[in-house]
Structure 1
Amino acid sequence: MIKEEQSMIKGIICLLVALLFAGCGQKKVEEPVTIAINPWPGYELLYLAKQKGFFEAAGANIELVQVSTLSDAQRAYLTGYVDGFASTMIEAIQVAPLGGKPIKIVLLADYSDGGDVIIAPGSIESMQALKGETIGCEVSSLGIFVLERALRLHDMQLDDVRVINVEQGAAASALGIGKIDAIVTYPPYSVEIQSSGEYRELFSTKEIPEEVLDTLSISSSVLAEHPQLVAQIHQAWQMAMDYLQQHPDDAIGIMAKREGLLAADFKAALADLKLLSREEQNKLFAQGDKLTQLGYSVCETLVKIEAIESDCGHVDELFYRAN
């Protein structure tokens, strides 16, 4: 009986050891890096990279989380729902003053070169005609920045107009019922509004070249856990850009469908931004002073219009630097 018990115990121990070593031999499933993205033609290259398997080919496990607006993308990060988010530099700069976990801008997707616009009914013929009128924009993000720059260029300031918060999805109806006299908007929302033929463009980011930079930011702690992630994202991004160049009809068709636009409208929207290749991004990242100077300029504008409270010192650490 004792021998039988000893044999049983020995068998159990052997089984536990076998299971232990079997477990050690199994590859741990890596959790995906989650990134929030709102509709914008430049960000669609990330979805193209995901659909075509370019992230996987580059060795990155990326999950893209769809949200509606830039503000939503930023909120998703601030609340810890995602590891990173696509946005303009404006929303990235706001993270630290808003108490968010440290981030790094790791990808420079594009410059808005006419994509962000101010639209008003045809009866309003100029920016100056908006004096005293009500303008809708996302007051906590890009919208208020674009509006302030547009007004300043046309010899006005925010006090000369009435500003109310209008999310992009509500822009068309707000204009239609006369709740606002103009809207700060961008594709695909601007395409829908302008398709009626009842509105005119009063301002676009062509008037402020290279001031609105679209980016991808990721948590500093996540980057520390995944030291190869930035290189992998850049590789997948370039693969998507190459695919767009080599197979434009298929690529544009895929991206336009996701944005809810006709292929021709999406192609026109792409023409209003400058997509940045991996080589162009590397040159910009190497010019750290240029990026930091742009970051300070944006930050100081946000402080001036009371969108944030900050001494802007955090901008020095905002951009990713390869070791």
Structure 2
Amino acid sequence: MQRNRFLSTCLAFFFGVVVAVGCAGNAPETSSEPTNTSEVAAVDGAPLVIGYSSWPGWLPWAIAEEKGLFEANGANVELKWFDGYLASMEALAAGQLDGNCQTLNDTISFAADAVNGEVAVLVNDNSAGNDKVIVAEGINSLEDLKGKTVALEEGVVDDFMLTQALEDAGMSRSDITIKNLETGAAAAAFASGQADGFAGWPPFWSIALEREGSKELLSSKEYPGAIPDLLVVTQKVIDEQPDQVQAMVNTWFATLDYIAKNPEESNKIMASRAGVSAEEYKAFEAGTRIFTIEENLEAFSEGNTMKHMPFAAQKMNDFMVDVGFIEAGPEDLGAILDDSFVKAYAESS
């Protein structure tokens, strides 16, 4: 049902993690090296348990864990790896985690029923090409899709991206026929000639491209902000341990700083967590844009474009309700976004 449920089986999902190194170079200076324990306030009690899974924008957390950057920044955190992304979202909603790495649309989907609330406190990245619309030979524009059949998984981010593209072209979803299939099945249907287009993420678009004459029509690179990947924590944690949430946010930017200074070592750590060789890891193309602190501040701010999450959240909520993916989103969409922690980091840097 959700975008990244197959991430752990897909090498192609690691397109672009090396882009983190370049983006991290713009991050403010932070404490990226483990410090003496006397220099960091002691953190007592049970650690916050944070879930994450195999998406490039979330793998830097493995570096924070291995290099002691959580401790160096006063964060008492236990990372919990999930082979299945959907399971991590279900665990957060059920109160089994204190935080999780997930997309904005999935946060909207789960927030209304989450027992402890769900709040985005950090933008890790945006998909910047990893999500694509693939079309058959002879289709060269969105207008050419009119009356054609597109295989996709309704309600997920690639459906949303395609809908935005159609609207930009003066069209709507009613101008095409949606063949609603699980993403892997949708790619197979397109590859076998049962549809004229396909929308999805790797490795499934690589399967779709096996069809002779097929090609990429558009990707998330042209729709910045449409697919933000986030650190989401419970409202309970924010209320009871705001200092720990701040420490996690600080740790994230310290990790980006570490990556910028130690790219080779960092790539090895992320490759190991992904289960691929460092050589394979480096070979993938950029498809993920890691966010700087400046981009975080812009993303959380009010605005009238998809780069602004308050605007994007409303668009995503309305879209998912319209297509019947959810009955209703959170009563207050603003409550699932909290910019206070990235603002505090920016002010202290």
Normalising by structure 1, report the TM-score.
Answer: 0.74
Within a 5 Å distance, the mapping from 1:93-172 to structure 2 comes to: 93-98=108-113, 101-120=116-135, 125-130=140-145, 131-137=147-153, 139-159=154-174, 160-167=176-183
1:38 matches 2:45: no
Distance 2:224 2:260 in 1: 24
Q: Distance in 1 between matches of 2:268 and 2:194?
A: 35
Tell me which residue corresponds to 2:91: 76
More helix by percentage = 1
Q: Which residue of 1 aligns with 2:6?
A: none
Worse-matched range after superposition: 171-180 or 139-148: 171-180
One-letter code of the match for 1:305?
Answer: V
Mapped to 2, the partners of 1:260 and 1:190 lie a distance apart of 19
Q: 1:62 aligns with which of 78, 82, 89?
A: 78
Structure 2 residue 293 is matched with structure 1 residue 304: no
Moved more, 197-206 or 231-240: 197-206
- Equivalents in 2 of 1:144, 1:73: separation in Å? 22
Q: 1:178 to 1:309 in 2, by over 3 A?
A: same
User: What is the CA distance between 1:249 and its match in structure 2?
Assistant: 2.5
In the alignment, structure 1 residue 274 sits paired with structure 2 residue 289: yes
Task: Say which SS state the counterpart of residue 228 (structure 1) adopts.
Answer: helix
CA contact (8 A) 1:96 1:314 kept: no
Aligned partner letter, 1:253: K
Deviation at 1:109, TM superposition (A): 1.0
Change over 3 Å in CA distance of 1:255–1:196 after alignment to 2: farther
Give the superposition deviation at 1:257: 4.5
Q: Is the CA contact (8 Å cut-off) linking 1:97 and 1:309 kept in structure 2?
A: no
Instruction: Give the Cα–Cα distance (whole angstroms) in 1 for the partners of residues 267 and 99 of structure 2.
Output: 25
* Distance of aligned partners of 1:249 and 1:119 in 2 relative to their CA distance in 1, 3 Å threshold: farther
CA spacing shift, 1:136–1:259, aligned 2, 3 Å: farther
Q: Which runs of 4+ in 1 moved over 6 A?
A: none
8 Å CA contact 1:211–1:294 kept in 2: the answer is: yes
Matches within 5 A, 1:254-273: 254-259=269-274, 262-266=280-284, 268-269=285-286, 272-273=287-288
Query: Which residues of structure 1 form unaligned runs of 5+?
Result: 1-26
Q: TM-score, normalized by length of structure 2?
A: 0.69
Q: Residues 197 and 161 of structure 1: is their aligned pair in 2 closer, same or farther, counting only changes over 3 Å?
A: closer
Amino acid at match of 2:323: I
| Preserved contact between residue 111 and residue 117 of structure 2 (Cα < 8 Å) | yes
The question of 1:221 aligning with 2:236 is answered yes
Deviations 1:108-167 (A, max 9, x none): 112223232123455755445544324122x34323322322333344433322232314
Q: Report how many residues are paired.
A: 288
Distance 1:313 1:293, change over 3 A: farther
When residues 133 and 280 of structure 1 are mapped into structure 2, their CA distance, relative to the original with a 3 A threshold, is closer
CA contact (8 A) 2:191 2:207 kept: no
Please tell me whether residue 205 in structure 1 is matched to residue 220 in structure 2.
Answer: yes
Give the structure 1 partner of residue 340 of structure 2: 322
Q: Distance in 2 between matches of 1:103 and 1:148?
A: 26
Counterpart Cα distance in 1 of 2:66 and 2:138: 43
When Rg is computed on C-alpha atoms for both structures, the one with the higher figure is 1
Given the superposition, is the C-alpha separation of residues 322 and 153 from structure 1 closer, same or farther in structure 2, using an over 3 Å criterion?
Answer: closer
Q: Deviations over 1:194-218 (max 9, x none)?
A: 7869552122123322232221111
Which amino acid in 1 is paired with 2:315? S
